[in-house]
Structure 1
């Protein structure tokens, strides 16, 4: 499908692996020039090497928890054609607290990574979209609608904050023909998820999933790229769940049992 990205520039933050990597790949396959960022320099280099077979890609190692760094990334991306057409805020983490309560450092890290980076990204790209319009997609989480309990509850809170920010900034940017939406992935087969759960824990999680399986990163990436395209020109301030119907019904596993 031609989504209209030939000759366009797309930026994806936190894209050295997982969902961000898959989003960058989909943009490249649609003909966009892609700029990616992540903290780890080796990870960025590896991603650029692997993805370069699909199109023109640039990578920058920087910490997105800083307005200055997001401004630098936007400036570098805009230098390619003079503007930026799509921007995906994908930086995030689900770090568990070490004790019964969060320390100040733990709290600041999660708030910065999951929420401030999103705000900084939206602010950084605005000067380069305000003349010709564009699309921003913020990667939120199913946890923002179905809060995560016990030791990672701040993650859910910050992703809910991303949803709220998405709606307000969509209204603020609308006069400039800039659309802003949030995509809420469910449980997805990424290094972050697979490193945090045992197989038994995953099996229990999937009992509440209508499709009965984890998402693949490309299944999240395709809706993100579509929302960034002219085909989604009347969609803004929306929260799009891509969750396999997780926690939408009780006892989802029974459908699979009865149909065996």
Structure 2
């Protein structure tokens, strides 16, 4: 229970990596604010699993500053403080240059970049020394095989990587560590959706372990970055990809 007494906000926490992260942080002792956009049933399931005394589900659009303010206010009202911020909510559409619209651009940058930045801004006044900010990046940013269709996604995650570096220096004076986890292909419902068995088999073989990561394995890296053992780790993008460099 290394996170006993800590309070975490996890956006996009009703499913996938976000849900696994919320459940892992709770298992390590933290109280958790479960942010979701539309799936209230899934969010309530996470709260029920953790326990209503240490979990709170909050509906909010993590790409909109007023909703972010509502999320932070709900966390402080319920638990009185914030120690860990995990801006996990994101979008991964596929658009090459020729087919990218302004709406596509705004959707990606609003949720993947603007939302995380302003969540941190609004949360920091409520974070004591020892706080942790843990962004979610991607292993695609180091890939030489990334396809043109991931143009917007990798652009947003490149911005996230730079925010990690800048904010780690900005927030060090407050005793807050800032890092990111960069997952490789991870077996979430969203990842599997729309992919053929042939494509999945090809992607799986790109890891020498011949499998995809599991959400719980990514959550374990987040838990490390949230805990005391990472107190001298800041400004880092920690890749969790099973030696899969795609």
Q: What is the TM-score with the length of structure 2 in the denominator? A: 0.93
Aligned length: 243
RMSD: 1.7
**Contact kept? 1:15, 1:90, Cα under 8 Å:** yes
Superposed counterparts of 1:5-20, under 5 Å? 5-20=3-18
The CA distance in 1 between the partners of 2:91 and 2:223, in whole Å, is 22
Residue 53 of structure 1, CA deviation: 2.7
The CA distance in 1 between the partners of 2:28 and 2:11, in whole Å, is 18
Determine which of 89, 92, 95 is the counterpart of 2:93. 95
**Contact kept? 2:92, 2:153, Cα under 8 Å:** yes
Residue in 2 that maps onto 1:233 = 231
* Structure (1 or 2) with the larger CA radius of gyration: 1
Is structure 2 residue 245 aligned with structure 1 residue 247?
yes
Residue in 1 that maps onto 2:143 = 146
Residue in 2 that maps onto 1:161 = 159
SS in structure 1 of the partner of residue 178 of structure 2 = strand
**Contact kept? 1:9, 1:84, Cα under 8 Å:** yes
Superposed counterparts of 1:45-194, under 5 Å? 45-55=41-51, 56-97=54-95, 100-129=98-127, 131-146=128-143, 148-194=146-192
Change in CA separation of 1:111 and 1:50 when aligned onto 2, cut-off 3 Å: closer
Q: 5+ unaligned residues in a row in structure 1: which ranges?
A: 249-260
The CA distance in 2 between the partners of 1:64 and 1:50, in whole Å, is 18
Q: What is the TM-score with the length of structure 1 in the denominator? A: 0.88
SS in structure 2 of the partner of residue 34 of structure 1 = strand
Q: 5+ unaligned residues in a row in structure 2: which ranges?
A: none
Residue 99 of structure 1, CA deviation: 8.6
Higher mean C-alpha deviation, range 144-153 or range 208-217 = 144-153
The CA distance in 2 between the partners of 1:165 and 1:210, in whole Å, is 31
SS in structure 2 of the partner of residue 144 of structure 1 = helix
